[in-house]
Amino acid sequence: MALSCNFNLADPKCRDDQQCLPPPRQILITAEMDPKRGIVIWIVCVGCLVAGSELPIYSATNTLEIQSVTVNGKPAPLRGDGSVNLGSFPENISFNFRPGTNSTRPPIRLRYKLEGFDNEWHEGGGEMALNIRFYTESGDQISQNIFNVRGDSAGWTGSMENSPLSHRRETLVVPPQASRVWVVISSAGPPSSVGIYVVANLLVSKSSPGQPPVALIQSPFDSPQYPADANGIPTGWTPDGIRPSMAKIVTFGQEPAIKAFAVLDDDPISHAEWRTIKEFAPAVNPGDHLVVEWNEMYSMGIGDFRSVNYQKLPQGAFALHLMEADVMGVPTGVETSLRVLVSPPFWQRSWFWSAVLISVTAATVGGARYLGWQKMRREMFRLKAQQTLERERLRIAHDIHDDLGARVTQISLVSAMSQENPAFPEKARADFDRISRMSRELVSALYETVWAVSPENDNLDALGNYLCQMVNQLCEQSRFRCRFNMLDLPREIQVSSQIRHNIIMAIKEAVHNVIKHAQASEVTLRMTFSENEISVLVQDDGCGFDPARSMTGHGLSNMKRRLQDVGGSCTIESQLGKGTLVQVRLALNLPPKIS
């Protein structure tokens, strides 16, 4: 039994630039007389047909791949998602690329653009030139003038048919010892240059003063009929170089068509050129002025272009695009890209400022808590010391009151009893009376001292009450009227014993002066507390005095000194016949409240 099946493994969509599977073929399968084996083989054959219809097309994949990236000579790792991170402030960045490992040919020309940084596409520094060479009579070259072209000519579209020619005119002087001039159109600068260079309407002429220019070399295509060899090479010209076949004669345009010399260089390791032949080289003389004119169009790059370098890149996100072009500079559609990230420095990143904010907040809160704790600790130490001092003052006040006061009171009582004893002579009783009076005054002074020392009276309300009692007692003894103007004084306002003592002594001195000198009938005492300041005013309706006149005694100066010692002030205003006003003012440094 013989079975045969035909199946086509060639894809009908296969193009010339793709590698395709073999052409259709017929497979003959023979099975000896076993029908079962024949059926199995037939099924296998049908399976091959089905599988063959689903085989993928094998085409040239991306022929470009970015091989490596270096920053300051150090490699930057390429990520699997097609990106690279250059870090912060990268310098001397190099992107290195090569043909893909599955590429059958290297790219002819490459262009690149770093999107986000470059405004246009760039290409390697390919270069071609039209050379004017000067030779001696013996054939030695002594100098040459090179007129280079790079990149694309103005208006180049990728085709000679619709790209304009650019006119160019150069002047030069024949150097000493030169006797012949040659023209060379070459792609040899450097040899890796690839692309096309078209030169038309070439004319080399010699100009002399007062004479018309003389044409030395002229493009043969400018004549309707020009001599040429069997290959169409114009007489006097020859293709040359490592690959002369890349030197061509091209015709483009219409009405009329233009014929020109061209170098179509698609080999990055070779070059081609058109040059004039030595035997047809025109004669020149040293010092002659030559004018070289021609029309040209061109597009060129470099064939061994394998890296892109940038000195510095700012922070941001970029994309490096590599694009292949053919010899005419037309994109072939082969392209590869790499996303490039330049990270901002750490102090410009959100996490850094978040960390700074958290650190500053923590430091501020911690510092505030620490300062508050230290402040509270100092206040506790102050309060503890103050409590210790107040306990000691209270003990001293109790001792004075209970011991010394009781003894002085006993002396006063005994003296008073002795004064009433008729058994004592009159002089003795008078002395006892004086002792009794002095004892009472001493008791009063002791009680005044006890009041000043006792911490129970370290408040503004106690100070006001004591001043009223003291002034009232002094006025009663001297038979003065007294008026009191006391607003509600807060008891919680603390006033130290030193301040209370100095204010009391100053007011007492002021009232004594009224009693002794003012000839007054009424004394007014006014006390206020506002904005942490104590103000005590003593005013009389007496005769007054002239403050500018020198006064004897130390009463007024003592009053001012006492207030200055505790940070206050004492002012005295008086006029003859209008009484006197004494004002005591003192600002309190109240301790801060502990919340």
pLDDT of residue 346: 85
Bridge partners (DSSP) listed for residue 294? 168
Mean pLDDT across 236-258: 91
DSSP code string of 378-420:
HHHHHHHHHHHHHHHHHHHHHHIIIIIHHHHHHHHHHHHHHHT
- Tell me 516's DSSP state: I
Q: How many CA atoms lie within 13 A of 476 on its CB side?
A: 6
Going by their DSSP bridges, the two strands 481-486 and 522-530 should be labelled as parallel
pLDDT tier, 221 (very low <50, low <70, confident <90, very high otherwise): very high
pLDDT of residue 94: 95
Q: Which residues pair with 493 in a beta bridge?
A: none
pLDDT for residue 204: 96
Residue 9's pLDDT is: 34
* Percent with pLDDT over 70 in the chain: 86
- DSSP H or E stretch at residue 564: helix 555-565
Q: Fill in the amino acid letter for 380.
A: M
| Per-residue model confidence as pLDDT tens digits over 309-352 | 999 999 999 999 999 899 999 998 888 999 999 998 888 888 88
- pLDDT beyond 60 at 30: no
The pLDDT of residue 135? 95
> What confidence score (pLDDT) does residue 496 get?
85
Question: pLDDT at residue 399 above 80?
Answer: no
pLDDT at residue 40, rounded to an integer: 40
Q: What is the pLDDT of residue 156?
A: 94
Q: Give buried/exposed letters for 184-205 (b at 16+ CB in 10 A, else e).
A: bbbbbbbbbbbbbbbbbbbbbb
Rounded Cα–Cα distance for residues 535 and 508 (Å): 15
Long-range CB pairs of 101-104 (<8 Å, 24+ gap) are: 101/65, 102/60, 102/61, 103/60, 103/63, 103/64, 104/19, 104/60
pLDDT at 222 over 80: yes
The whole-chain average pLDDT of the chain stands at 82
CATH number of 64-122+306-342: 2.60.40.10
Position 59 pLDDT exceeds 70: no
Categorize the per-residue pLDDT at 4 as very low, low, confident or very high, splitting at 50, 70 and 90. Answer: very low
Higher pLDDT: 11 or 169? It is 169
**Is there a contact between 296 and 185 (Cβ–Cβ < 8 Å)?**
no
Give yes or no for a contact between 103 and 67, defined as CB atoms under 8 angstroms apart.
no
Closest CA to 482 of 529, 541, 534: 541
Spell 75-101 as b/e; 16+ CB within 10 A means b: ebeeeeeeebbbeeebeebbbebbbbe
The pLDDT of residue 234 is 94
Query: How far apart, in whole angstroms, are the C-alpha atoms of residue 391 and residue 397?
Result: 10
pLDDT score at 405: 67
Please report the pLDDT score of residue 63 as a whole number.
67
Does the predicted TM-score (pTM) go above 0.75? no
At residue 198 the predicted structure's pLDDT band, cuts being 50, 70 and 90, is very high
Domain boundaries 481-595, corresponding CATH code: 3.30.565.10
Q: What pLDDT shows up at residue 103?
A: 67
pLDDT at 84: 94
pLDDT of 353 over the 70 cut: yes
pLDDT at 246: 95
* pLDDT at residue number 22: 37
Predicted pLDDT of residue 62: 53
Out of 7-16, 82-91, 116-125, pick the least confident.
Answer: 7-16
- Please list, in sequence order, all residues whose beta carbon lies within 8 angstroms of the beta carbon of residue 449, skipping any fewer than 6 positions away: 400
